[in-house]
Amino acid sequence: MASRDVYGAVEGGGTKFVCMIGTSPTDVVDEVTIPTTGPAETIGEVIEFLQRPRPGIRLVAIGVATFGPIDLDPTSSTYGCVLKTTKEEWSGARILAPIARRLGVPVGWDTDVNGAVLGEARWGAAQGIDPVLYLTVGTGIGGGALVNGATIHGLLHPEMGHIAVPAVPGDSFPGICTFHGRCLEGIASGPALAARCGRPVPEIPPDDPVWDLEARYLAHGIRSLILTLSPRRVVLSGGVMRQAHLLPRVRRALVEVLNGYIDLPELKDRIDEYVVLSKLDQKAGLYGALVLAERASPRTG
């Protein structure tokens, strides 16, 4: 019997690496979750999973979407490595090279949030749409964008969580970003919200006025991202957005802070179709890694 061509997908996160073998969210041959420890051990386990003999299956390409910052420049000597990060053991860790060498197939590579936007644009909340902005609001705030058919690889990759937001009048909370204090992540991430309220995010009641403040800061950030990238859809995800009452507040605040400047229904009456929640949720990066594998594959690339 001829073997079937499949992809390997790896989503690397700060606490776990999720790996799968398959071709789409509805064709999953195998899947595993590996705890994130040190790079040698974790990447070793990822390779072991990908190498496992599976009769009737041929792995033709792999995609990796991982936490960063990472080096995406193929001409760089540190291409495929994690750059300097607060997760010290991972600073400089080689991820792409060992996987490519041991598996002997092409490996596509991007950030977790760039992977997520590819996943959402293929199977999730922004199917067939371009440009798309994906923003996750959780332990940190991270953004990915699909623009002109691909994610953005430039000097580095987008680090949208660290854009500036104006202070809401009367709010003196200094923010928690060690680099920028009150940048978007410093003022509106889960840990920022918890620090402001003195308790974990899930324990903040839905009627606490802090949620309107949170929505206002997120709206300020999203406004700047919309005015820069002009996305046709904004996809939100992450632990903080799981508070069901937050999305409607963010939409209302966004319409307010845009203040009618862009005269389009998507930013007024149709805001509910324009700013949406992720459909793939925690699988967005993993399925995005599948898209990266597909794009790296010599058959489709």
| Distances 2 to 5, 22, 56, 58, 62 between C-alpha atoms, Å | 10, 16, 7, 9, 21
The neighbour count for residue 122, using CB atoms within 10 Å, is 20
Residue 165 binding a second copy, by CB under 8 A: yes
Measured from the CB atom, the residue of 123 and 274 that comes closer to a second copy is 274
Measured from the CB atom, the residue of 182 and 283 that comes closer to a second copy is 182
Q: With CB under 8 A, what is the number of residues at the site for a second copy?
A: 51
What residues from 90 to 149 belong to the interface with a second copy (CB under 8 A)? 131, 143, 145, 147-149
Residue 16 binding a second copy, by CB under 8 A: no
- Which residue, chain included where needed, has tokens 């410093």? 186
Instruction: State how beta strands 27-35 and 16-24 pair.
Output: antiparallel
Measured from the CB atom, the residue of 69 and 191 that comes closer to a second copy is 69
What residues from 138 to 157 belong to the interface with a second copy (CB under 8 A)? 143, 145, 147-150, 152-157
How many whole angstroms separate alpha carbon 115 and alpha carbon 63? 9
Of the candidates 119, 158, 238, 285, which one interacts with a second copy according to CB under 8 A? 158
Tell the smallest beta-carbon distance from residue 96 to a second copy (Å): 19
State the DSSP H helix or E strand holding residue 191, giving kind and residue range, or none if neither: helix 190-197
Q: Which stretch binds a second copy (CB under 8 A): 7-15, 165-173, 195-203, 204-212?
A: 165-173
How many whole angstroms separate alpha carbon 284 and alpha carbon 118? 8
Residue 159 binding a second copy, by CB under 8 A: yes
The number of helix segments (H) and strand segments (E) in the chain equals: 9, 10
Measured from the CB atom, the residue of 174 and 206 that comes closer to a second copy is 174
Measured from the CB atom, the residue of 8 and 158 that comes closer to a second copy is 158
How many whole angstroms separate alpha carbon 240 and alpha carbon 243? 6
Sign of the torsion formed by the C-alpha atoms of 95, 96, 101 and 102? positive
List residues binding a second copy (CB under 8 A).
69, 83-84, 131, 143, 145, 147-150, 152-160, 162-167, 179-180, 182, 220-221, 223-232, 257-264, 266-267, 274
